[in-house]
Structures are given as structure tokens and as C-alpha cells.
A and B are shown apart, each in its own frame.
Chain A
């Protein structure tokens, strides 16, 4: 058994190293610009690995993200390339906005639509330009700006001591998000940020059991980002009024239950009118 384990791990690490080198090389050649489809390949798992380790997908996907962070284009070394990115200020610019194509090991390939819902404050760098108005990483009550943001995500579930704007928003690069390991995350890849805590939801989302697909059921898979349905600052969906109920069938009448919270039942109108 031990020899088997050794060979297995040696093969695994060899494959991982090869993959890192390969992707580092491929990213050094890639350039990002508007209107161009940007492929970000985050896959470094071979078929043999997938067969052997299908049970430990969770752990592996975490590992992959760690390793991939080294090769991602938002690394400090590739500063010049990142500056090529420009964001739409309204949805009118969406057709020209690059659509990201992401591959993960084992996950079906998918595309993410650029954000349809954009914040009124975006671009952040218009005010927070790095010189003035430096965002303070101190937990406090906001009084002048950003007062209309509902911060339930901080208050209810996580406690105000641990969480602040700067936990997720990058202070050094205002138009980007920041992960727990201080890596910059693009706004259109917010699933990498959310998945740091909500890993089960992330996994379901990547495979299609959570979230929403649009357009087609076969062919190219396009799915909506987390932030299309969940407000990142208060993620729980708020109660809303439902559409009107169907009328009861002809000749029937809706009757209240004898129990205070019981369901209403349909009765024959004729019989009901005789009894009451």
C-alpha cells in the first residue's frame, strides 16, 4: 500500500508542476482587451487524476484555486496587463464587454455574462483614485457616503468585528475585489470571492444545481453570476408579493378553513349556499 501511495503522490505532484509551468507560460502570452473573448483556463487536473480522486473534488478544487492564484493575470507582476481592463458604466456598454470563459476540472465548461446589474457607485476609482479619499479599514457607521447600502451581510451573520468593506473591496486597486489571501478578484468573477466561505454553494453553482442558466439548455453554457440574484451586501432574497392566485373553478367557491392558519378549500357553490 505504501509504495502505491508514494507512486500516486509522485505522479500527482509531477502532473501539478507540469500544469503550473504550462499555464504560467500560456498566461505570459495572453493579452486582455475589450471586445475580445478572454479564456482563463483554471484547469490543471488530468483525466487520470479525475478518475482516482473523484471523491475528493471539494478539497481538490480548493487546492487548484490556490495553485491557480499564482498563475492568474491579476498578480502583482502583471500590473501592466490588468490596466487594459475597462468596465462599463452602464448596461449600454455590455455588448462590447468581454465575456469570460472559465474551465474547471470536472465542471462543465461555462461562460459568465458580464454584470447586468452595475452599482451606482461604479467605477470606484472615479472617487477612490488612490490619492484622496482612501478607504479606511475601520469598522464604523457610515454617515456621509454609501449610506443607502444595506449591510445585512455584515451585521446579521458575521458580526461587525470581523467584516468590513475592505474585507472584500481592494483598497489598493479600487475597481477590484480582494480575496482573503489578498489576491485581486475581478468583479465578473465574484464567485471566487463568495466561494471562499460558501464553498458548497459554489460547487453547486459550478455544476448547475444552484444558480440560473440562461438562453439554452444545450450548447454553450451561460450562467448568471452570484450578484445577479443576491445583493452582495445583503444576500438573502427579500420577501416579495406573489402574482395573483388562480380563481376557483367554475361552480366552486373558496372557503376558509376551520383552523385559524389552515388552507382554504374549494366547495361546491350550490351546496355551500344551501348550508349557509
Chain B
């Protein structure tokens, strides 16, 4: 830090300033490389102690971006991640890598006149997606609003009532809206998050640097950050996972709802829909004209949240 102040002092003599700047650049460059090398060695050493394999640590450090990995590299990476997950959680975990289905664009519709605020979807989501049980990471927030109001400033998602629906209140679940024009993707400085061909915005957890720009960019509070090392009881881990969605995360990365990629790409329904006791949720392929979601979009009065922001969400709300 003291060196940085030097150029300010030598500004008055322009002849010397160039030389001193060069020197400064050299010094900082050398110092930077030394620091980086030190950081690498320390991380390798640290992870070496934990995982017990130098090659694993090196592989993890030099693992490529999800979209740039070849098939073999992907298999290798997944095998290593599965091995490490077993070491950490003590349970066999299968990390899938199902590609997006062709001719499919996922869409979601939610009937707000049916939602009663039981929060069954929230718990099903946490159980399905291996979220940290210690912290507040929940992909779905159920807002409680005045019956005649759509003022989200006055909404309460911490409501704790003996029975719901409470008289005079309505309930409004919010999760990732899977925008067609996602601001979080634009905000990411390292391209660790992107929109897949089936319209789902995903994160490569190994590429994420944890800067949380995406969380600031998201207008729906859909992105959550792992402030601490996630802890999940062994018996509650869902072993059926996908690389891009619900595989066990680490400290310092973002995570978000992916419409249960690991289920929906195999034809199943999202966990929140399966758990909903009132049948308020409709999921499907919006490119299929015979699908249920297309009937809702074409025949019901639907609206999208914060439409004026031009994010083009693929999550619609409707009422009877």
C-alpha cells in the first residue's frame, strides 16, 4: 500500500514519473504472481488435507467451464465430484448430466386464487434440492398480502399463523421466474450462469466466484448465496442430482431454482407441483400447443411479475 502512494508524490516531475510507474508496475506484477502462487499452493495444500489427493485438488482447480468441457472431461469431473460428495456426506450420490430436451421450453403457471399458503411447496423444494438446512436458503417465498392489494411492499413472507388461509389475506408464492431475458446472466462477470436451451437459467457451481452480482441484479430475490458450508443430515440428502441443479453445493457459491431440472428433463413434474395440496400449479412445455400450460396462457387472465422490467419471465400467475 505504501508503494501506491509514491506515484502521487512524483507527479510533479514528469520525467521521473514514467520510470517510477514502470518500476511500480513491475513490482506489483511480481508481487501479484508471488501472491497468486502462494494462494494456489495454500488452497492445494488445504484441499489436499481435506480430500486426501493432490491430483483431485489440481483437477478441481483446473476444471473447465461446464459448456467448454469435452465428454471425457465431463465424465472425469462428475466422477470426482461424486467421490468427493460421498466423502463429505457419507452417501452415494448420482450426479446426472441430462442435456435439454429438443423442442421444449419450460413454463410455469400458478393459480393465485387456489394457493392457500400452506408452504408445502417450500419444504418439498428444500428436500428435493439439497439446500442447506441451517440457513434461510429457500427458493420459494410465499408472500401474504391483503386480499384487495398487490402492494408487495406490504407483503409478509414470515407469516406464522395457526391456520391458513387467514381471513382477508391472500397468498402469493414467488420463485425464480426463469426469465427469457435474465438480468442475472448479464450481471455475471465470469459467465458462471447462463440460460439453457430449454429456458432454464443454471449455474456452474464450480465456476462461480461468489461475487453476488447476480443476486443484486435479480428483481425477484430468486438467487441465494451460501454464506456457510452447507450442512445436510445424511438421511435427508437426495441422491438423484444433476450437475446444474441440485448436486451438493459448497460455501461461497450462488444457487437458485431450476424448475427441478433433474426431474423435469426426465419427464417428471417439479417437486413443488407434486407437493401442492391445492393443485394451484401448472407446469409444461409452452411450445406444445396441446399442453395444459398453453390452455392456461390462452384462456385465462394471466400476468407476469414486474413485467415492466422487460425480463420476460416464463412464470405466469392467473386466477379463476
Contacts and interface: CB of A to CB of B under 8 A. Distances in A.
A216 B160 contact: no
A79 to B, nearest CB: 36
A208 B288 CA distance: 14
A247 B118 contact: no
Interface stretch (A42-50, A161-169, A235-243): A235-243
A248 B158 CA distance: 8
A263 to B, nearest CB: 3
A209 B300 contact: yes
Interface in B255-294: 264, 267-269, 274, 276-279, 282-285, 288, 290-293
Contacts of B293: 208
B136 A217 contact: no
Query: Which residue, B116, B160, B279, has most C-beta atoms of chain A within 10 A?
Result: B279
A249 B267 contact: no
A245 interface: yes
B223 to A, nearest CB: 14
A211 B119 CA distance: 18
Given A217-B268, A246-B138, A207 B162 contact: no
B267 A209 contact: no
A29 interface: no
A250 B227 contact: yes
Contacts of B119: 242-245
A147 interface: no
B144 A208 contact: no
A217 B162 contact: no
B268 A216 contact: yes
Interface in B122-164: 122-123, 135-136, 138, 141, 144, 154-164
Q: On chain A, which size bracket covers the interface?
A: 35 or more
Contacts of A245: 119, 157-160
Contact of B285 (A212, A217, A248): A217
Nearest to B161: A242
Classify the interface of chain B: helix, strand, loop or mixed. loop
B111 interface: yes
Contacts of B163: 239-242
A240 B162 CA distance: 8
A219 B282 CA distance: 15
Contacts of B269: 213-217
A241 B119 CA distance: 9
Interface string A215-232: 111110100100001000
A248 B160 CA distance: 13
A264 interface: yes
A217 B284 contact: yes
Contacts of A208: 282, 291-293, 295-296
Contacts of A242: 117-119, 159-161, 163-164
Nearest to B318: A209
Nearest to B277: A229
A237 B154 CA distance: 27
Given A108-B290, A240-B163, A263-B144, A215 B154 contact: no
A262 interface: yes
A77 B279 CA distance: 39
A235 B136 CA distance: 36
Nearest to B276: A212
Nearest to B228: A250
A224 B164 CA distance: 23
25 contacts: A108-B292, A207-B292, A208-B292, A208-B295, A209-B111, A209-B292, A211-B279, A216-B267, A216-B269, A217-B264, A217-B285, A217-B291, A218-B288, A237-B116, A239-B116, A239-B163, A240-B118, A242-B117, A242-B164, A243-B118, A244-B119, A246-B136, A249-B136, A250-B227, A264-B159
Given A215-B268, A264-B158, 5 more contacts: A207-B299, A210-B279, A214-B269, A237-B278, A263-B155
Interface of B: 111, 116-120, 122-123, 135-136, 138, 141, 144, 154-165, 227, 264, 267-269, 274, 276-279, 282-285, 288, 290-293, 295-296, 299-300, 318, 320
Interface of A: 108, 204, 207-219, 221, 224, 229, 237, 239-250, 254, 262-264, 266
